[in-house]
A and B are shown apart, each in its own frame.
Chain A
Amino acid sequence: SAVISQKPSRDICQRGTSLTIQCQVDSQVTMMFWYRQQPGQSLTLIATANQGSEATYESGFVIDKFPISRPNLTFSTLTVSNMSPEDSSIYLCSVEGAGGINEQFFGPGTRLTVL
């Protein structure tokens, strides 16, 4: 199994500022996924980060708003830029199970509130 940690666990931010969320995995993984869960909603995939290449963004999400870094096989960051109250969500980092493990592992999430 994969153990995923995220920092910060929660934050309250002012409109117009940016927040960088860190995701650390205890094993090397090829793909890291970033999800957003708006209040009372389901999880929506923001982008997929592959080490050594540009992240792949889903429809409705753009790099200028959600820049992602993937400097190595165990770490990634997601930045939420120029925040507005609509960005208030839980942001979750996720990886696939390796070696035939059929599970999508999730970090504990970062609970963001934008005032």
Chain B
Amino acid sequence: AQKITQTQPGMFVQEKEAVTLDCTYDTSDQSYGLFWYKQPSSGEMIFLIYQGSYDEQNATEGRYSLNFQKARKSANLVISASQLGDSAMYFCAMREGRNSGGYQKVTFGIGTKLQVIP
């Protein structure tokens, strides 16, 4: 099964509107972390927001918020007041488990391409 599922290959949003990017995950671990990254055309990975599995409050960072629904294994990213500079690829990722090397692996979804329309 896919660890991280992003079902929206592409999304459009009008400037100044809010948009929700979907992400569901699959893990049997009790302790895990969920990330969202933005990747503009330049290729750099820009960290946006983090949600720990034990965090009771939804994470927020400025215009970004994470709608965490643990029972549904859902971690959707909400971007409020979209700006033209928000046009980019957005990746959902999960850190979980510990392997024999003792480290937690981060697995990425396939991404959603967001385009903000003026």
Which residues of A approach B to under 8 Å, CB–CB?
A: 31, 33, 37, 41-45, 48, 50, 56, 90, 92, 94, 96, 102-106, 108-109, 111
Q: Is the CB of A103 within 8 A of B91?
A: no
Give how many B residues have a beta carbon under 8 Å from the other chain's beta carbons.
24
- Lowest 9 A-B CB distances belong to which pairs? A106-B45, A102-B50, A56-B101, A43-B108, A42-B108, A42-B110, A109-B43, A103-B47, A31-B103
Contact B101 A104 (CB under 8 A): no
B99 contacts the other chain (Cβ, under 8 Å)?
A: yes
Report B-chain residues with C-beta under 8 Å of the C-beta of A105.
Answer: 47
Q: Which chain B residues lie closer than 8 Å to A103 at the CB level?
A: 35, 47, 50
Determine whether B44 belongs to the interface, using a CB cutoff of 8 Å to chain A.
Answer: yes
Say yes or no: A111 contacts B43, CB within 8 Å.
yes
Query: How many residue pairs, one in A and one in B, have C-beta atoms under 8 Å apart?
Result: 52
Q: How far is the CB of B21 from chain A (nearest CB, A)?
A: 14
Contact A42 to B99, CB < 8 A, known contacts A103-B50, A104-B93, A109-B43: no
What is the distance, in angstroms, from A27's C-beta to the closest C-beta of chain B? 16
23 contacts between A and B (CB under 8 A): A33-B106, A42-B108, A42-B109, A42-B110, A43-B93, A44-B108, A45-B105, A48-B101, A48-B103, A48-B105, A50-B103, A56-B100, A92-B45, A94-B106, A96-B104, A102-B33, A103-B35, A104-B47, A104-B93, A104-B95, A108-B44, A109-B44, A111-B43
Evaluate whether A45 and B106 lie within 8 angstroms (CB atoms) in the complex, with A102-B33, A108-B44, A109-B44 already known.
Answer: yes
